[in-house]
Structure 1
Amino acid sequence: MVSEVGVPEVKHKWGENYLGIINLAIAPIAIVVVYLYIRDKYEKEPLNLLFLGLLFGGFIVAPIIVVEEYLSSYASLIGNNLSYSLYVAFIVAALTEESFKFLIVYALIFENRNFNEKFDGIVYAAFVSLGFALVENILYVVNPEFGGAYTAMMRSIFAVPAHALFGVTMGYYLALAKFEPERKMEMLLKAFFIPIFLHGLYDFILIYQNPLLLLGFVPYVLFIWVTGFRKMKEHIQASPFKDKEIEKTESQEKIQK
Protein backbone atom coordinates (compact mmCIF):
# COMPACT_ATOMS: atom_id res chain seq x y z
CA MET A 1 0.00 0.00 0.00
CA VAL A 2 2.12 2.86 -1.29
CA SER A 3 0.88 6.41 -1.70
CA GLU A 4 0.99 6.26 -5.49
CA VAL A 5 -1.35 3.27 -5.75
CA GLY A 6 -4.87 3.90 -6.99
CA VAL A 7 -5.17 7.45 -8.26
CA PRO A 8 -2.94 10.50 -8.41
CA GLU A 9 -2.81 12.27 -5.05
CA VAL A 10 -4.66 15.54 -4.61
CA LYS A 11 -3.87 17.50 -1.47
CA HIS A 12 -6.72 19.50 0.00
CA LYS A 13 -7.79 21.39 3.06
CA TRP A 14 -9.17 18.77 5.43
CA GLY A 15 -12.53 19.65 6.87
CA GLU A 16 -14.97 17.10 5.55
CA ASN A 17 -17.15 14.85 7.67
CA TYR A 18 -15.33 11.62 8.52
CA LEU A 19 -18.46 9.48 8.57
CA GLY A 20 -19.57 10.72 5.17
CA ILE A 21 -16.11 10.14 3.71
CA ILE A 22 -15.96 6.62 5.16
CA ASN A 23 -19.38 5.88 3.64
CA LEU A 24 -17.99 6.98 0.28
CA ALA A 25 -15.12 4.54 0.78
CA ILE A 26 -17.43 1.66 1.68
CA ALA A 27 -20.11 2.22 -0.98
CA PRO A 28 -18.19 1.00 -4.06
CA ILE A 29 -17.02 -2.11 -2.18
CA ALA A 30 -20.62 -2.91 -1.21
CA ILE A 31 -21.79 -2.45 -4.80
CA VAL A 32 -19.18 -4.84 -6.19
CA VAL A 33 -19.84 -7.39 -3.42
CA VAL A 34 -23.57 -7.41 -4.19
CA TYR A 35 -22.88 -7.62 -7.91
CA LEU A 36 -20.62 -10.66 -7.52
CA TYR A 37 -23.11 -12.37 -5.22
CA ILE A 38 -25.88 -11.86 -7.79
CA ARG A 39 -23.69 -13.12 -10.64
CA ASP A 40 -23.17 -16.38 -8.73
CA LYS A 41 -26.67 -17.38 -9.78
CA TYR A 42 -26.58 -21.17 -10.02
CA GLU A 43 -25.24 -22.16 -6.61
CA LYS A 44 -24.70 -19.47 -3.99
CA GLU A 45 -21.70 -19.57 -1.68
CA PRO A 46 -22.17 -19.70 2.12
CA LEU A 47 -22.40 -16.18 3.50
CA ASN A 48 -20.13 -17.04 6.43
CA LEU A 49 -17.35 -18.13 4.05
CA LEU A 50 -17.77 -15.00 1.93
CA PHE A 51 -17.62 -12.91 5.10
CA LEU A 52 -14.41 -14.69 6.12
CA GLY A 53 -12.96 -13.80 2.73
CA LEU A 54 -13.73 -10.13 3.28
CA LEU A 55 -12.49 -10.28 6.87
CA PHE A 56 -9.15 -11.92 6.11
CA GLY A 57 -8.73 -9.62 3.12
CA GLY A 58 -8.99 -6.72 5.54
CA PHE A 59 -6.69 -8.31 8.11
CA ILE A 60 -3.80 -8.64 5.65
CA VAL A 61 -3.55 -4.87 5.33
CA ALA A 62 -1.47 -4.71 8.54
CA PRO A 63 1.28 -7.16 7.50
CA ILE A 64 1.25 -5.71 3.99
CA ILE A 65 1.95 -2.23 5.37
CA VAL A 66 4.87 -3.62 7.38
CA VAL A 67 6.38 -5.40 4.37
CA GLU A 68 5.81 -2.46 2.04
CA GLU A 69 7.40 -0.04 4.49
CA TYR A 70 10.45 -2.30 4.71
CA LEU A 71 10.73 -2.69 0.93
CA SER A 72 10.13 1.04 0.42
CA SER A 73 13.17 1.83 2.56
CA TYR A 74 15.33 0.50 -0.29
CA ALA A 75 13.58 2.59 -2.94
CA SER A 76 15.62 5.68 -2.01
CA LEU A 77 18.76 3.84 -3.12
CA ILE A 78 17.45 3.74 -6.69
CA GLY A 79 18.47 6.89 -8.53
CA ASN A 80 16.91 6.19 -11.91
CA ASN A 81 13.23 7.20 -12.14
CA LEU A 82 12.33 4.29 -14.42
CA SER A 83 13.96 1.73 -12.12
CA TYR A 84 12.41 3.39 -9.06
CA SER A 85 8.93 3.29 -10.60
CA LEU A 86 9.30 -0.34 -11.65
CA TYR A 87 10.53 -1.34 -8.19
CA VAL A 88 7.76 0.44 -6.30
CA ALA A 89 5.00 -0.67 -8.67
CA PHE A 90 5.92 -4.31 -9.21
CA ILE A 91 7.83 -5.25 -6.05
CA VAL A 92 6.69 -2.97 -3.23
CA ALA A 93 3.01 -2.83 -4.19
CA ALA A 94 1.97 -5.58 -6.61
CA LEU A 95 4.14 -8.46 -5.43
CA THR A 96 3.46 -7.80 -1.75
CA GLU A 97 -0.30 -7.28 -2.00
CA GLU A 98 -1.10 -10.02 -4.49
CA SER A 99 1.12 -12.53 -2.63
CA PHE A 100 -0.81 -12.04 0.60
CA LYS A 101 -4.13 -12.24 -1.24
CA PHE A 102 -3.06 -15.44 -2.99
CA LEU A 103 -2.04 -17.09 0.28
CA ILE A 104 -5.35 -16.21 1.93
CA VAL A 105 -7.48 -17.37 -1.00
CA TYR A 106 -5.58 -20.62 -1.39
CA ALA A 107 -5.64 -21.41 2.34
CA LEU A 108 -9.28 -20.43 2.75
CA ILE A 109 -10.98 -22.15 -0.15
CA PHE A 110 -8.84 -24.26 -2.44
CA GLU A 111 -9.59 -27.51 -0.59
CA ASN A 112 -12.95 -26.36 0.76
CA ARG A 113 -15.93 -28.51 -0.27
CA ASN A 114 -17.89 -25.36 -1.14
CA PHE A 115 -15.43 -24.67 -3.94
CA ASN A 116 -17.42 -26.92 -6.25
CA GLU A 117 -17.61 -24.94 -9.50
CA LYS A 118 -15.22 -22.70 -11.40
CA PHE A 119 -17.01 -19.43 -10.74
CA ASP A 120 -16.52 -19.98 -7.01
CA GLY A 121 -12.80 -19.32 -7.43
CA ILE A 122 -13.58 -15.91 -8.89
CA VAL A 123 -16.08 -15.08 -6.15
CA TYR A 124 -13.80 -15.98 -3.24
CA ALA A 125 -10.67 -14.36 -4.70
CA ALA A 126 -12.59 -11.19 -5.49
CA PHE A 127 -14.07 -11.08 -1.97
CA VAL A 128 -10.60 -11.34 -0.41
CA SER A 129 -9.40 -8.56 -2.74
CA LEU A 130 -12.40 -6.43 -1.81
CA GLY A 131 -11.77 -6.94 1.90
CA PHE A 132 -8.28 -5.60 1.34
CA ALA A 133 -9.59 -2.76 -0.84
CA LEU A 134 -12.14 -1.79 1.82
CA VAL A 135 -9.54 -1.17 4.52
CA GLU A 136 -7.12 0.41 2.05
CA ASN A 137 -9.88 2.70 0.79
CA ILE A 138 -10.76 3.89 4.28
CA LEU A 139 -7.10 4.56 5.10
CA TYR A 140 -6.76 6.63 1.94
CA VAL A 141 -9.91 8.71 2.21
CA VAL A 142 -9.46 9.67 5.89
CA ASN A 143 -5.84 10.69 5.32
CA PRO A 144 -5.72 14.41 6.24
CA GLU A 145 -3.10 15.12 3.57
CA PHE A 146 -4.63 13.67 0.41
CA GLY A 147 -7.90 12.03 1.44
CA GLY A 148 -11.42 13.33 1.09
CA ALA A 149 -14.37 13.07 -1.28
CA TYR A 150 -12.33 13.49 -4.47
CA THR A 151 -10.02 10.64 -3.53
CA ALA A 152 -13.01 8.47 -2.58
CA MET A 153 -14.70 9.18 -5.91
CA MET A 154 -11.60 8.50 -8.02
CA ARG A 155 -10.77 5.31 -6.14
CA SER A 156 -14.34 4.09 -6.57
CA ILE A 157 -13.94 4.48 -10.35
CA PHE A 158 -10.44 3.07 -10.73
CA ALA A 159 -8.78 1.44 -7.70
CA VAL A 160 -11.69 -0.55 -6.24
CA PRO A 161 -12.76 -2.19 -9.52
CA ALA A 162 -9.08 -2.83 -10.32
CA HIS A 163 -8.55 -4.70 -7.04
CA ALA A 164 -11.71 -6.70 -7.67
CA LEU A 165 -10.61 -7.58 -11.20
CA PHE A 166 -7.13 -8.58 -10.06
CA GLY A 167 -9.01 -10.94 -7.75
CA VAL A 168 -11.20 -12.13 -10.62
CA THR A 169 -8.06 -12.98 -12.60
CA MET A 170 -6.53 -14.82 -9.64
CA GLY A 171 -9.74 -16.76 -9.00
CA TYR A 172 -10.15 -17.61 -12.67
CA TYR A 173 -6.81 -19.43 -12.77
CA LEU A 174 -7.24 -20.93 -9.30
CA ALA A 175 -10.45 -22.51 -10.53
CA LEU A 176 -8.65 -23.98 -13.53
CA ALA A 177 -6.00 -25.35 -11.17
CA LYS A 178 -8.74 -26.91 -9.04
CA PHE A 179 -10.87 -28.46 -11.78
CA GLU A 180 -8.20 -29.25 -14.36
CA PRO A 181 -5.68 -31.12 -12.19
CA GLU A 182 -3.52 -32.08 -15.15
CA ARG A 183 -2.65 -28.36 -15.46
CA LYS A 184 -2.66 -27.59 -11.74
CA MET A 185 0.89 -26.24 -11.37
CA GLU A 186 0.68 -24.17 -14.55
CA MET A 187 -2.61 -22.60 -13.47
CA LEU A 188 -1.40 -21.95 -9.91
CA LEU A 189 1.59 -20.09 -11.31
CA LYS A 190 -0.71 -18.05 -13.53
CA ALA A 191 -3.02 -17.36 -10.58
CA PHE A 192 -0.03 -15.97 -8.72
CA PHE A 193 1.94 -14.09 -11.39
CA ILE A 194 -0.68 -12.68 -13.78
CA PRO A 195 -2.45 -10.56 -11.10
CA ILE A 196 0.98 -9.30 -9.99
CA PHE A 197 1.76 -8.24 -13.56
CA LEU A 198 -1.64 -6.57 -14.08
CA HIS A 199 -1.42 -4.79 -10.73
CA GLY A 200 2.20 -3.78 -11.26
CA LEU A 201 1.53 -2.31 -14.70
CA TYR A 202 -1.48 -0.41 -13.35
CA ASP A 203 0.62 1.18 -10.61
CA PHE A 204 3.65 1.73 -12.85
CA ILE A 205 1.64 3.89 -15.26
CA LEU A 206 0.54 6.12 -12.36
CA ILE A 207 3.91 6.24 -10.60
CA TYR A 208 6.16 6.81 -13.61
CA GLN A 209 3.97 9.70 -14.83
CA ASN A 210 5.10 9.42 -18.44
CA PRO A 211 2.63 11.41 -20.61
CA LEU A 212 2.44 8.70 -23.27
CA LEU A 213 1.86 5.98 -20.69
CA LEU A 214 -0.78 8.08 -18.95
CA LEU A 215 -2.66 8.34 -22.25
CA GLY A 216 -2.89 4.57 -22.15
CA PHE A 217 -4.14 4.36 -18.57
CA VAL A 218 -7.87 4.48 -19.27
CA PRO A 219 -7.61 2.04 -22.21
CA TYR A 220 -5.61 -0.29 -19.96
CA VAL A 221 -8.27 -0.09 -17.24
CA LEU A 222 -10.94 -0.83 -19.86
CA PHE A 223 -8.87 -3.82 -21.01
CA ILE A 224 -8.81 -5.17 -17.44
CA TRP A 225 -12.58 -4.69 -17.20
CA VAL A 226 -13.34 -6.40 -20.53
CA THR A 227 -11.07 -9.39 -19.90
CA GLY A 228 -12.35 -9.69 -16.33
CA PHE A 229 -16.00 -9.82 -17.42
CA ARG A 230 -15.12 -12.36 -20.09
CA LYS A 231 -13.47 -14.56 -17.48
CA MET A 232 -16.56 -14.32 -15.28
CA LYS A 233 -18.88 -15.18 -18.17
CA GLU A 234 -16.74 -18.17 -19.15
CA HIS A 235 -16.79 -19.70 -15.67
CA ILE A 236 -20.50 -18.96 -15.18
CA GLN A 237 -21.29 -20.78 -18.43
CA ALA A 238 -19.19 -23.75 -17.26
CA SER A 239 -21.26 -24.22 -14.09
CA PRO A 240 -22.33 -27.85 -13.53
CA PHE A 241 -25.41 -26.46 -11.76
CA LYS A 242 -26.58 -24.52 -14.81
CA ASP A 243 -28.69 -27.32 -16.33
CA LYS A 244 -30.24 -28.14 -12.95
CA GLU A 245 -31.28 -24.51 -12.52
CA ILE A 246 -32.77 -24.43 -16.01
CA GLU A 247 -34.73 -27.64 -15.32
CA LYS A 248 -35.95 -26.20 -12.02
CA THR A 249 -37.12 -23.00 -13.74
CA GLU A 250 -38.90 -24.95 -16.49
CA SER A 251 -40.65 -27.14 -13.89
CA GLN A 252 -41.86 -24.08 -11.99
CA GLU A 253 -43.18 -22.54 -15.22
CA LYS A 254 -45.11 -25.73 -16.02
CA ILE A 255 -46.64 -25.78 -12.53
CA GLN A 256 -47.73 -22.15 -12.89
CA LYS A 257 -49.38 -22.94 -16.22
Structure 2
Amino acid sequence: MNTKHLSENDTCPEKTGKLRIYSMRFCPFAQRARLILWHKRIQHETVNINLTNKPKWFLQLNPNGATPIIEKDNIIIYESSACCEYLAEMYAKSLIPSDGLTRVRHRMFIDAFSSVTGKYHDLLFSRVDKSVGMPALRNSLKPYEAEIKDKFFGGSEPVLLDFHMWPFIERFAVLEKTLGEKVMTEDELPKLIKWRKNMEDLDCVKKIRKEPEEHMIYLSARLKNELPDYDHDIENDPVL
Protein backbone atom coordinates (compact mmCIF):
# COMPACT_ATOMS: atom_id res chain seq x y z
CA MET A 1 0.00 0.00 0.00
CA ASN A 2 1.21 3.48 -0.92
CA THR A 3 -1.74 5.85 -0.72
CA LYS A 4 -2.17 9.25 -2.27
CA HIS A 5 -1.95 12.06 0.26
CA LEU A 6 -5.04 11.92 2.44
CA SER A 7 -6.82 15.10 3.50
CA GLU A 8 -9.35 16.25 6.08
CA ASN A 9 -12.34 14.41 4.61
CA ASP A 10 -10.52 11.15 3.85
CA THR A 11 -10.90 8.13 6.11
CA CYS A 12 -8.01 6.19 7.56
CA PRO A 13 -7.27 3.08 5.45
CA GLU A 14 -8.16 -0.23 7.04
CA LYS A 15 -5.23 -1.81 8.83
CA THR A 16 -3.72 -4.96 7.34
CA GLY A 17 -1.45 -6.07 10.19
CA LYS A 18 1.70 -4.82 8.48
CA LEU A 19 3.92 -2.18 10.00
CA ARG A 20 2.58 1.16 8.79
CA ILE A 21 4.36 4.45 8.25
CA TYR A 22 2.42 7.69 7.96
CA SER A 23 4.54 9.83 5.70
CA MET A 24 4.74 12.71 3.26
CA ARG A 25 6.73 12.07 0.11
CA PHE A 26 8.80 15.26 0.26
CA CYS A 27 9.34 15.33 4.03
CA PRO A 28 13.04 14.86 4.90
CA PHE A 29 12.17 13.73 8.43
CA ALA A 30 9.91 10.97 7.12
CA GLN A 31 12.53 10.06 4.53
CA ARG A 32 14.92 9.13 7.33
CA ALA A 33 12.55 6.42 8.53
CA ARG A 34 11.72 5.29 4.99
CA LEU A 35 15.42 4.84 4.24
CA ILE A 36 15.78 2.47 7.19
CA LEU A 37 12.66 0.55 6.17
CA TRP A 38 14.10 0.00 2.71
CA HIS A 39 17.66 -0.66 3.89
CA LYS A 40 16.44 -3.38 6.25
CA ARG A 41 13.83 -4.60 3.76
CA ILE A 42 11.09 -4.30 6.39
CA GLN A 43 7.68 -5.11 4.93
CA HIS A 44 5.44 -2.10 5.42
CA GLU A 45 2.61 -0.02 4.05
CA THR A 46 2.72 3.73 3.50
CA VAL A 47 -0.13 6.12 4.24
CA ASN A 48 0.72 9.54 2.86
CA ILE A 49 -0.69 12.62 4.56
CA ASN A 50 -1.54 16.03 3.11
CA LEU A 51 0.22 18.17 5.72
CA THR A 52 -1.56 21.30 4.52
CA ASN A 53 -5.03 19.85 5.16
CA LYS A 54 -4.59 17.02 7.67
CA PRO A 55 -7.24 14.43 8.54
CA LYS A 56 -8.57 14.75 12.09
CA TRP A 57 -7.77 11.09 12.78
CA PHE A 58 -4.13 11.80 11.90
CA LEU A 59 -3.96 14.44 14.63
CA GLN A 60 -5.22 11.83 17.08
CA LEU A 61 -2.18 9.70 16.21
CA ASN A 62 0.24 12.59 16.66
CA PRO A 63 -1.10 15.81 18.22
CA ASN A 64 1.90 17.66 16.76
CA GLY A 65 0.59 16.86 13.27
CA ALA A 66 3.99 15.87 11.86
CA THR A 67 5.37 12.93 9.91
CA PRO A 68 6.66 10.30 10.29
CA ILE A 69 4.52 8.10 12.51
CA ILE A 70 5.15 4.38 12.89
CA GLU A 71 2.23 2.13 13.82
CA LYS A 72 2.49 -1.58 14.58
CA ASP A 73 0.05 -3.72 16.58
CA ASN A 74 -1.69 -0.61 17.98
CA ILE A 75 1.64 0.82 19.18
CA ILE A 76 2.19 4.39 17.97
CA ILE A 77 5.62 6.02 17.73
CA TYR A 78 6.07 9.55 16.45
CA GLU A 79 8.87 12.11 16.08
CA SER A 80 11.54 11.38 13.51
CA SER A 81 14.36 10.44 15.90
CA ALA A 82 12.17 8.08 17.93
CA CYS A 83 10.79 6.37 14.80
CA CYS A 84 14.28 5.90 13.38
CA GLU A 85 15.72 4.56 16.63
CA TYR A 86 12.86 2.07 16.88
CA LEU A 87 13.40 0.80 13.33
CA ALA A 88 17.18 0.84 13.70
CA GLU A 89 17.12 -1.23 16.89
CA MET A 90 14.09 -3.51 16.66
CA TYR A 91 14.37 -5.01 13.18
CA ALA A 92 17.17 -7.18 11.77
CA LYS A 93 20.75 -6.06 12.47
CA SER A 94 20.94 -2.99 14.70
CA LEU A 95 22.06 0.26 13.08
CA ILE A 96 23.11 1.67 16.44
CA PRO A 97 26.79 1.10 17.37
CA SER A 98 27.32 -1.45 20.14
CA ASP A 99 30.39 0.33 21.53
CA GLY A 100 29.24 2.71 24.25
CA LEU A 101 31.50 5.64 23.36
CA THR A 102 30.75 5.42 19.64
CA ARG A 103 27.03 5.19 20.38
CA VAL A 104 27.16 8.35 22.52
CA ARG A 105 29.22 10.24 19.95
CA HIS A 106 26.78 9.32 17.20
CA ARG A 107 23.90 10.51 19.39
CA MET A 108 25.80 13.78 19.85
CA PHE A 109 26.20 14.21 16.09
CA ILE A 110 22.55 13.33 15.46
CA ASP A 111 21.40 15.95 17.97
CA ALA A 112 23.85 18.54 16.61
CA PHE A 113 22.67 18.05 13.02
CA SER A 114 19.82 20.48 13.70
CA SER A 115 22.47 23.20 13.30
CA VAL A 116 23.07 22.00 9.73
CA THR A 117 19.36 21.83 8.90
CA GLY A 118 18.80 25.28 10.38
CA LYS A 119 21.48 26.81 8.18
CA TYR A 120 20.11 24.94 5.15
CA HIS A 121 16.67 26.44 5.77
CA ASP A 122 18.15 29.91 6.30
CA LEU A 123 19.54 29.74 2.76
CA LEU A 124 16.52 28.03 1.24
CA PHE A 125 14.10 30.66 2.55
CA SER A 126 16.52 33.56 1.89
CA ARG A 127 16.84 34.50 5.55
CA VAL A 128 20.54 35.21 5.01
CA ASP A 129 22.65 36.26 2.03
CA LYS A 130 24.57 33.37 0.48
CA SER A 131 27.87 35.18 1.14
CA VAL A 132 27.14 34.65 4.84
CA GLY A 133 24.93 31.57 4.78
CA MET A 134 27.00 29.28 2.56
CA PRO A 135 30.21 29.52 4.63
CA ALA A 136 28.12 29.03 7.78
CA LEU A 137 26.55 25.88 6.32
CA ARG A 138 29.97 24.50 5.34
CA ASN A 139 31.37 25.24 8.79
CA SER A 140 28.48 23.36 10.41
CA LEU A 141 29.49 20.28 8.38
CA LYS A 142 33.16 20.34 9.37
CA PRO A 143 32.72 18.31 12.60
CA TYR A 144 31.18 15.54 10.45
CA GLU A 145 34.08 15.79 8.00
CA ALA A 146 36.47 15.28 10.91
CA GLU A 147 34.47 12.36 12.35
CA ILE A 148 34.10 10.10 9.32
CA LYS A 149 36.95 7.62 8.91
CA ASP A 150 35.60 5.06 6.43
CA LYS A 151 32.94 4.63 3.73
CA PHE A 152 30.23 5.44 6.26
CA PHE A 153 30.05 6.73 9.81
CA GLY A 154 29.59 3.11 10.87
CA GLY A 155 32.66 1.91 8.97
CA SER A 156 32.04 -0.29 5.95
CA GLU A 157 28.26 -0.31 6.52
CA PRO A 158 25.84 2.58 7.12
CA VAL A 159 24.36 3.22 10.55
CA LEU A 160 21.64 5.43 12.00
CA LEU A 161 23.77 8.59 11.76
CA ASP A 162 24.23 8.13 8.00
CA PHE A 163 20.49 7.84 7.42
CA HIS A 164 19.78 10.76 9.75
CA MET A 165 21.97 13.05 7.65
CA TRP A 166 21.17 11.89 4.14
CA PRO A 167 17.79 13.55 3.36
CA PHE A 168 19.24 17.03 3.83
CA ILE A 169 22.46 16.20 1.97
CA GLU A 170 20.22 15.07 -0.90
CA ARG A 171 18.46 18.45 -0.80
CA PHE A 172 21.71 20.41 -0.99
CA ALA A 173 21.38 19.99 -4.76
CA VAL A 174 18.36 22.31 -4.62
CA LEU A 175 20.45 25.03 -2.98
CA GLU A 176 23.22 24.51 -5.51
CA LYS A 177 20.84 24.92 -8.44
CA THR A 178 19.19 27.94 -6.86
CA LEU A 179 22.33 29.73 -5.67
CA GLY A 180 24.81 28.54 -8.31
CA GLU A 181 27.39 27.42 -5.75
CA LYS A 182 28.47 24.04 -4.40
CA VAL A 183 27.77 23.36 -0.73
CA MET A 184 30.45 20.69 -0.31
CA THR A 185 33.78 21.47 -1.95
CA GLU A 186 36.87 19.29 -2.39
CA ASP A 187 39.10 21.75 -0.57
CA GLU A 188 36.90 21.94 2.54
CA LEU A 189 34.83 18.72 2.73
CA PRO A 190 36.53 16.02 0.61
CA LYS A 191 35.62 13.09 2.87
CA LEU A 192 31.96 14.05 2.95
CA ILE A 193 31.94 14.23 -0.85
CA LYS A 194 33.19 10.62 -0.97
CA TRP A 195 30.63 9.68 1.68
CA ARG A 196 27.86 11.24 -0.43
CA LYS A 197 28.85 9.04 -3.38
CA ASN A 198 28.85 5.95 -1.13
CA MET A 199 25.37 6.84 0.10
CA GLU A 200 24.13 7.36 -3.46
CA ASP A 201 25.26 3.81 -4.26
CA LEU A 202 23.05 2.26 -1.55
CA ASP A 203 20.00 0.44 -2.90
CA CYS A 204 17.69 2.12 -0.38
CA VAL A 205 18.83 5.58 -1.47
CA LYS A 206 18.43 4.69 -5.14
CA LYS A 207 14.90 3.47 -4.44
CA ILE A 208 13.46 6.51 -2.71
CA ARG A 209 15.66 9.50 -3.50
CA LYS A 210 14.22 12.32 -5.58
CA GLU A 211 16.03 14.29 -8.22
CA PRO A 212 16.60 18.02 -7.61
CA GLU A 213 13.92 18.88 -10.17
CA GLU A 214 11.33 16.92 -8.18
CA HIS A 215 12.31 18.65 -4.96
CA MET A 216 12.11 21.98 -6.78
CA ILE A 217 8.50 21.36 -7.84
CA TYR A 218 7.51 20.87 -4.21
CA LEU A 219 9.73 23.58 -2.73
CA SER A 220 8.81 26.24 -5.29
CA ALA A 221 5.17 25.88 -4.23
CA ARG A 222 6.18 26.15 -0.58
CA LEU A 223 8.24 29.26 -1.25
CA LYS A 224 5.27 30.88 -3.01
CA ASN A 225 2.85 29.84 -0.23
CA GLU A 226 0.97 27.72 -2.75
CA LEU A 227 -0.53 24.27 -2.24
CA PRO A 228 2.14 21.70 -3.20
CA ASP A 229 1.36 18.88 -5.61
CA TYR A 230 2.04 16.17 -3.04
CA ASP A 231 1.11 13.37 -5.46
CA HIS A 232 3.34 14.44 -8.35
CA ASP A 233 4.53 11.23 -10.09
CA ILE A 234 3.38 9.10 -7.13
CA GLU A 235 2.47 6.21 -9.43
CA ASN A 236 6.20 5.59 -9.93
CA ASP A 237 6.98 5.29 -6.22
CA PRO A 238 8.43 1.88 -5.27
CA VAL A 239 6.50 -0.41 -2.93
CA LEU A 240 8.20 -3.02 -0.74
- Whether the TM-score (by the shorter chain) exceeds 0.5 is no
Which has the higher Rg, Structure 1 or Structure 2?
1
TM-score range, shorter chain: 0.3 to 0.5
| TM-score, with length taken from structure 2 | 0.34
Higher strand share: 2
Higher relative contact order (CA closer than 8 Å, sequence separation 6+):
1
